[in-house]
């Protein structure tokens, strides 16, 4: 049988094209089917409902003003909480747990004495400081340490040191007579610096450790205050006080802090030095020729030593901010701090708790006194403001704190 003849050319084209068209249509059906399946898979919600996060309410009352987001800064910024002292001592009390979680607070200013940390030579009690750093970092807060020598010096560190007896002028133990190491005694300063080296070795690399108060030629707290009542001036003259000796002591302190804490800022809290000049004398227990101009000059020289030599680490502040009239004993401190804005980091600590002592802070109402006092700090264009813990914990203060915290955060950007 002869093989069948191929179909005519035109018919063969129609057959081939028809088959191809069927294949193409099948391909399109498959593609659109896959796309539809993908769309359905994406847009269809899961059958298992998503877990609803648990909302933990803060123990501080809610406020109308939302606080800024908190992250650990690289320099002193925002509001800090200042801890209390144990009654009649320079021993710091632990922070309330609510202080660590308060969203209005950026930092923690922890104060305690040298004697509290190193009660006997070489034996350190780190528990309080460890707790502060651990809780600060859990809550994205930064830390300032205020470690107090002067009246807070342990007994062992006073052995072989020149001292003089003075009444405590203010703060913990006010009116009590205690031995104070003279600011320029080299044995005292060397022991203080060795203590600071131990502190640095333990905490220097903690990410939250941003600031430490410069202390040494001091007495009651971190302020550069020395006893300066009229009878005190006679005592200073008897032990050999001079402006050059005080300036020299602070020069050593700044150099040592810059070296011991290279990663931290160090602050000077202003207070006028004793008004003792070259013509000041003591007659029958009474000073004559008190020289307040010399006191102001010495304060300015000491500030210049810090600001001019260590502008990237030095912080200038006063610890007496209030909306009430400025304390005459620290006259000019506010304006002096303000004048250094833009050159170094500046800030203020409140005089006292506005919620506990509103009349001392400029208004009978606690929240209003707090607002007025903190606003005065903002008016000086500061980077940080330090608030006492009772104000941090008071529900009536939270709206004020949030407003000020936002203002400080906005100024930082």
pLDDT, tens digit, for every residue of 289-322?
999 999 999 999 999 999 999 999 999 999 999 9
pLDDT at site 61: 40
pLDDT band at 331 (very low <50, low <70, confident <90, very high): confident
The mean pLDDT value for 129-143 works out to: 98
14 vs 337: which has the higher pLDDT: 337
Q: What is the pLDDT of residue 262?
A: 97
Cβ contacts of 216 within 8 Å, gap of 6 or more? 149, 183, 189, 192, 249, 250, 252, 253
pLDDT tens digits, 26-80: 433 333 333 333 333 333 333 333 332 333 333 334 446 878 876 788 999 999 9
Residue with tokens 């650990």: 72
Examine the pLDDT at 329 and tell me if it is beyond 90: no
Instruction: Determine the average pLDDT of the residues in 210-237.
Output: 96
Best CA proximity match to 384, nearest among 140, 110, 79, 143: 79
> Quick one: DSSP state of residue 360?
G
Pairing of strands 384-388, 177-181: unpaired
Mean pLDDT of 169-177: 91
d(CA 239, CA 164): 7
Whether the per-residue pLDDT at 244 is higher than 50: the answer is yes
Extended strands (E) in 141-191: 142-148, 163-167, 177-181
Query: How much of the chain, in percent, has pLDDT values that exceed 90?
Result: 77
User: Where does the pLDDT of residue 164 fall: very low under 50, low under 70, confident under 90, or very high at 90 and above?
Assistant: very high
**Structure-block tokens of residue 196:** 């600071």
Residue 186 is encoded by which pair of tokens?
């080299």
Mean confidence (pLDDT) of the chain: 86
pLDDT at 412: 80
The per-residue pLDDT for 27 is 36
Q: How many CB atoms lie within 10 A of CB 49?
A: 7
Distance CA 366, CA 62 (A): 18
Nearest alpha-carbon partner for 141 in 59, 213, 73: 73
pLDDT at 350 over 60: yes
- In Å, what is the CA distance from 301 to each residue of 55, 292, 308? 54, 14, 10
* Coil vs helix vs strand at 321: strand
What confidence score (pLDDT) does residue 98 get?
A: 98
**pLDDT value of residue 253:** 98
78-411 placed in CATH 3.20.20.80: yes
């Amino acid at each position: 049988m002869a093989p069948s003849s191929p179909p005519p050319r035109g018919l063969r084209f129609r057959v081939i094209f028809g088959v191809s068209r069927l294949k193409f249509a099948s391909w399109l059906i498959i593609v659109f089917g896959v796309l539809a399946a993908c769309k359905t898979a994406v847009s269809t919600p899961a059958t298992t409902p998503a877990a609803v996060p648990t909302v933990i309410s803060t123990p501080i009352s809610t406020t109308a003003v939302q606080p800024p987001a908190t992250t650990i800064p690289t320099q002193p910024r925002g509001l800090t909480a200042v801890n209390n002292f144990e009654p009649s001592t320079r021993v710091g009390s632990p922070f309330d747990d609510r202080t660590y979680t308060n969203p209005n607070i950026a930092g923690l200013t922890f104060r305690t004495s040298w004697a509290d940390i190193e009660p006997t030579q070489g034996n350190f009690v780190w528990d309080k400081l460890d707790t502060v750093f651990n809780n600060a970092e859990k809550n994205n807060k930064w830390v300032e340490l205020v470690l107090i020598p002067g009246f807070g010096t342990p007994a062992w560190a006073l052995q072989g040191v020149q001292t003089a007896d003075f009444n405590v002028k203010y703060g913990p133990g006010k009116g009590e007579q205690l031995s104070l190491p003279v600011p320029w005694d080299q044995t005292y300063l060397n022991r203080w610096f060795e203590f600071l080296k131990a502190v640095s070795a333990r905490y220097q690399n903690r990410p939250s450790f941003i600031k430490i108060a410069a202390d040494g030629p001091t007495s009651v707290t971190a302020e550069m205050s020395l006893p300066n009542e009229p009878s005190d001036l006679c005592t200073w003259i008897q032990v050999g006080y001079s402006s050059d000796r005080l300036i020299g002591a602070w020069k050593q302190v700044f150099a040592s802090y810059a070296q011991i804490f290279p990663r931290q800022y160090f602050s000077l809290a202003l207070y006028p030095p004793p008004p003792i000049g070259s013509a000041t004398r003591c007659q029958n227990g009474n000073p004559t020729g008190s020289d307040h101009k010399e006191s102001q000059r010495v304060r300015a020289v000491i500030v210049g030593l810090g600001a001019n030599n260590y502008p990237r680490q030095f912080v200038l502040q006063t610890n007496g901010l209030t909306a009430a009239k400025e304390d005459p004993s620290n006259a000019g401190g506010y304006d002096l701090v303000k004048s250094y804005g833009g050159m170094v980091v500046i800030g203020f600590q409140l005089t006292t708790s506005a919620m506990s002592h509103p009349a001392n802070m400029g208004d009978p109402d606690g929240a209003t006194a707090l607002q007025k006092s903190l606003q005065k700090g903002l008016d000086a264009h500061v980077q940080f403001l330090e608030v006492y813990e009772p104000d941090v914990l008071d529900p009536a203060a939270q709206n004020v704190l949030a407003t000020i915290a936002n203002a400080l955060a906005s100024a930082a950007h």
